[in-house]
Amino acid sequence: MNSKKKFYLLLGLFQIILVLTVFFSVDGLISFASAQAEPIEYFNSPTTIALALSAALSVGFSVIGSAWAIKTVGTAAISSLAEREESFFKAFLVVALAEALAVYGLIVAILLWTKIPSPPV
């Protein structure tokens, strides 16, 4: 398998894992916490911990994936620009798409962070 296909496969796999982590951590744990017979302090529950860990993991893994993608794509873009200067837009576009991966992870983390309950006042 060449490196380009491997990169896209890993990128797609990371996005699938990220979506499944968000889906199961929010819906699955909230329904688990609400099914408890005794009332629990929701803001001090395993759901809160799972939401916080999911937010941290979404930022961490997306930034690591984006850094790896920028390193790989940026090196290829610089060598492509050294040979042909008219390939600037294509190289810039691919690097910008790799940077967008980190922004998507940050957006997911912010959405998860807003779901974390706070104690009543």
pLDDT, tens digit, 9 for 90 and up, residues 102-114: 999 999 999 988 8
CA 85 to chain centre: 33
Q: What total of structural domains would you count in the chain?
A: 1
pLDDT, tens digit, 9 for 90 and up, residues 66-113: 999 999 988 888 888 888 888 888 888 888 888 888 999 999 999 988
> Rounded to the nearest 5°, which phi and psi values hold at 16?
-65, -45
d(CA 112, CA 26): 8
Is 0.85 surpassed by the pTM of this model?
Answer: no
d(CA 66, CA 101): 6
Flag whether 75 is in a domain: yes
Residue 76 belongs to domain spanning: 58-114
